[in-house]
Structure 1
Amino acid sequence: MTYDDPFRCFVPYPDAAVKHSPTGPLAGLTLAVKDLFDVKGYPTGAGSPIVLAQSGIKTKTAPIVKDLLQAGARFVGKTHTDELAFSLNGKNAHFGSPINPAAPDRITGGSSCGSMAAVAGRLADIAVGSDTGGSVRAPASYGGLFGIRPTHGRLSLKRVWPLAESLDTPGWFTRDGEVFARVGNVLLGKDRTELPEVPRLLLADDMFAQAVPEAETILRNVVQRALPSVGQPESVKLVRDIDALYWAFRWIQGREAWASDGAMIERFAPPLGPGVKERFAFSKTVTDAEYAKGEATRKTFRARLARLLGQDGVLILPTVPDIAPLVSAEEPELEDFRNRALRLLCLSGLSGFPQVTIPVAQREGAPLGLSLIGPKGSDKSLIAFAVAYQRATRVRIA
């Protein structure tokens, strides 16, 4: 375990030996693991005192973590998460909040807050997180990292604390593209849909309009920088009604979150933190009709996006509307930003298609990411293209 922890990213559990292979494609690299994933010798707290109290010491390791250990990565600790993984802010009322190494006056984002901070702070080379509503993608953008939400169901969530079953995915963070791709090679296997080396690019104009004007201008300039390497993307309008997608996501996530944690919350009445308390209260009220409407909207959008991307298309869009909010922001301001961010982040969640966020820019000294969404099952080739695209964005136009 890493005890030198200036960014408060690790849960201070008693140290336990975690075996890893001395050789393999990830040998020499260090690994941090979000405290939703079981690791043999450690409890799993899910950012909740109640879950931690009931956990006990785990006797088995989550398969995705085990695969990374067997590939040579060395475990250095479990990382903090937002309470029950139900936030995008990286603030935990019970266990504290990690510091964003890339912008200390701004939030880390969540719920994979400690995992982002560990990698951005160079305390780990790789960190495992989970992504339901953006919990890898948003922190990665805020910390200047590579991050992925894989195709839903492609990677195992066995021995991982759930939030919303039909939306949950594992994911990971790295600082550089080469390591990012190496992790993908270990975990993903062969793509069902393999993208061409230079896919057909689609620029989601309506999604760029969801960003604040300053961020939109910066990200459009980034896209322009990549043109000599990857060509001109076709401008498209992706969504007919973004608010309908937002509510579909909220209803589905809420109903499934209550199915995961509602019985525990009602039995023990734990003092839930700000934001989390309100989200679970909302989740309890989602009706059968709302859930069914959300499912119908999801089905229609998934089919629309599948037609748009085909087998060779990649969609370009902002990861989140702007750089990370300030740590000093009040809860209503954070909730407003979260709701704006969900209008971008819900697209991959509802479709189940893979999304990679890449570090491409800064605004006011804080990182800002750009995202690429590919067809279902294209994760490995999407990563390869994303890494190449990120290199292309660094080329300055004379």
Structure 2
Amino acid sequence: MPDDPARAFMPYPAVPVPNAPEGPLAGLTLGVKDLFDIAGYPTSAGSPTMLAMSGIKTRTAPTVQRLLDAGARFVGKTITDELAFSLNGRNAHFGTPLNGGAPERIPGGSSSGSASAVSNGLCDVALGTDTGGSVRGPASHCGLFGIRPTHGRISLEGAHDLSPSLDTCGFFTRDAVTFRRVAEVLMDEDAAALPQTPRLLLAADGFGLLDGEVVEALDEAVHQVEAVLGTGDAVEAAGDFEALYWAFRYVQGREAWEVDGAMIERHRPPLGPGVAERFAFAREIDDAQVENARAVRAAYRERLRGLLRGDAVLVLPTMPDVAPRLDEPEAALDRYRNAALNLLCLSGLSGFPQISMPLARRLGAPLGLSLIGPPGSDLSLVRLAERIAAGA
């Protein structure tokens, strides 16, 4: 980018990245989270230490290459939260990208730069990753469409891991039509397609976590979904939010330490606020906690599979509220992150696809509403989101 008013991109020297002159994404511009390797560029993973160790990559990650081969034009690598271990979007080393939907509020992380670039109109589509909500959260905060696909549906080869059994590759767009075009490039047709009009389930316990004013702000968005699918049936989607929250944190923490712990212990990088505390927590997780967490995850996956039964979608809030303000202290941001994980861990633990749609606003800021579908129903879910956005 010759100019980056949103501070969304890493300030790397420009290197040409060839793309196909024609294809289904011709005319679209592409930003890529700086976890993905691109030939001619380093990969920082949001960390100065990792940037120093990176060297210039000689191979482009296959998912990025797939978008280039479809005609998308690369415009830059976007800032990510440090080692992708945050939901705030405030990188202590590289800064905070501007939220194009609410400039006085955080963009959300760790795909903060990608969400910022798209919401500020600096590119049409941007790749992110979602482990604990790092596409869904920024999508809600910045007023974008964002997807966490079925775990493993889109390749993460050539990208830096955080927690491999939870990591997914997602993306952002401003509109539902572009969202569907990108999804059709990155994913083959569903092996487990939803019916044209799936059953609609409302996560009563998820909405029950919200303040009344937030529920009220989402009411119209829920009615917009029901106008397409019919009145939804209320269900208890989680069963035990606290058990799921801790299961997620223990699995994520153990795997994050397995990925980055050796580097942290060897180089002692100056980790930013929040990130340092999460890695300290991760270091102390014991085997019994992990074993129990994996059992909870397996049981929850079967619970959600039973609710959806291959022909239903679950509607739930993406996040507990609009994005916190930029001047919120770190302790308040950590409380918000923990509240958000209660909602975000449902898709994360199950591995099922979730889409956040920019259907609501509160306090002048965007607020997302989500759909979760059965595993492998990603394209059906994307096309359903397009119908909902169009009111058809």
Q: Provide TM-score, normalisation by structure 2.
A: 0.99
Within a 5 Å distance, the mapping from 1:263-274 to structure 2 comes to 263-274=262-273
Task: Tell me the SS of whatever aligns to 1:14.
Answer: coil
Aligned to 1:291: 290
CA separation in 2, counterparts of 1:237 and 1:201?
Answer: 13
1:280 paired to 2:274: no
Moved more, 300-309 or 206-215: 206-215
For residues 12-57 of structure 1, give each alpha carbon's deviation from its aligned partner in whole angstroms, at most 9, with x where no partner exists.
Answer: 0000000000000000000000000001110000000110001011
Residue 332 of structure 1 corresponds to: 331
2:118 is equivalent to residue 119 of structure 1: yes
How far does residue 101 in structure 1 lie from its aligned partner after superposition?
1.3
1:309-345 CA distance string (max 9 Å, x none): 0111100000000000000000000000000000000
SS of 1:190's equivalent in the other structure is: coil
SS state at 2:381 partner: helix
1:46 maps to 2:31: no
Structure 2 distance, partners of 1:382, 1:229, is 13
Could you tell me whether the CA contact under 8 Å between 2:44 and 2:50 is conserved in 1? Answer: yes
For residue 211 of structure 1, report the CA deviation from its aligned partner: 2.1
Give 1:220 shift: 2.5
Q: Is the contact made by 1:115 and 1:173 (CA closer than 8 Å) also made in structure 2?
A: yes
Q: Kindly report which structure 2 residues correspond to 1:1-398, keeping only aligned pairs within 5 A, or say none.
A: 2-392=1-391
The Cα offsets for residues 198-242 of structure 1, whole Å up to 9 and x where unpaired, read as 111100000011222211112123212443332101111112210
Q: Could you give the per-residue CA deviations for residues 230-283 of structure 1, whole angstroms, max 9, x where no partner exists?
A: 210111111221000000000000000000000000000111000000000000
How far apart are the structure 2 equivalents of 1:22 and 1:113? 29
SS of the equivalent of 1:183 reads helix
Q: Distance in 1 between matches of 2:122 and 2:290?
A: 41
SS of the equivalent of 1:8 reads coil
Alpha-carbon distance between aligned partners in 2 of 1:317 and 1:59, rounded to the nearest angstrom: 42
CA contact (8 A) 1:211 1:320 kept: no
Residue segments in structure 1 that go unaligned for 5+ positions in a row: 394-398
Shift, 1:190, TM fit: 1.4
CA–CA distance in 2 between the matches of 1:246 and 1:43?
34
Give the stretch that moved more between structures: 5-14 or 206-215: 206-215
Q: Please identify runs of 4+ aligned residues in structure 1 that moved more than 4 A.
A: none
The CA distance in 2 between the partners of 1:305 and 1:362, in whole Å, is 28
Give the aligned residue type for 1:329: E
In the alignment, residue 356 of structure 1 is paired with which amino acid? I
How far off is 1:154 after superposition?
A: 1.1
Alignment check: 8 A CA contact 1:81 1:90 kept: yes
Counterpart in the other structure of 1:396: none
1:89 partner letter: N
Q: What do residues 261-310 of structure 1 show as CA deviations (whole Å, max 9, x unaligned)?
A: 00000000111000000000000011000000100000000000001101
| Amino acid in structure 1 at the alignment position of 2:37 | D
User: Which residue identity is paired with 1:315?
Assistant: L
For the Cα contact (< 8 Å) 2:261–2:283, is it kept in 1?
yes
The Cα offsets for residues 168-188 of structure 1, whole Å up to 9 and x where unpaired, read as 001000000000000010011
| Counterpart Cα distance in 1 of 2:14 and 2:201 | 48
Determine if contact 2:224/2:388 at 8 Å carries over to the other structure.
no
Match for 1:73: what amino acid?
A: A
The answer as to whether partners of 2:19 and 2:72 remain within 8 angstroms in 1 is yes
Work out the CA distance in 1 between the residues paired with 2:188 and 2:142: 28
Identity of aligned residues (%): 59
Cα deviations by residue, 1:356-376 (Å, 9 ceiling, x for unpaired): 000001101100000000000
* 1:97-156 CA distance string (max 9 Å, x none): 101111111000000000000000000000000000000000000010000000001111
CA RMSD of aligned residues (A): 0.9
CA separation in 1, counterparts of 2:271 and 2:23?
Answer: 42
Query: In 1, are the aligned partners of 2:228 and 2:387 still within 8 Å (CA)?
Result: no
Secondary structure, counterpart of 1:13 in structure 2 = coil
Letter of the structure 2 residue corresponding to residue 80 of structure 1: I
Counterpart CA distance in 2 for 1:325 and 1:223 is 23
1:148–1:293 CA distance, 2 compared to 1 (3 A): same
Structure 2 CA distance for aligned equivalents of residues 355 and 226 of structure 1: 15
Secondary structure in 1 matching 2:179: helix
Q: Across the two proteins, how many residue pairs are aligned to each other?
A: 392
Alpha-carbon separation, structure 2, partners of 1:159 and 1:96 = 24
Deviates more, 1:224-233 or 1:194-203: 224-233
TM-score of the pair, normalised by structure 1: 0.97
Does the 8 Å CA contact 2:220/2:360 hold for their aligned counterparts?
Answer: no
SS in 1 for 2:391: helix
SS of equivalent to 1:375: coil
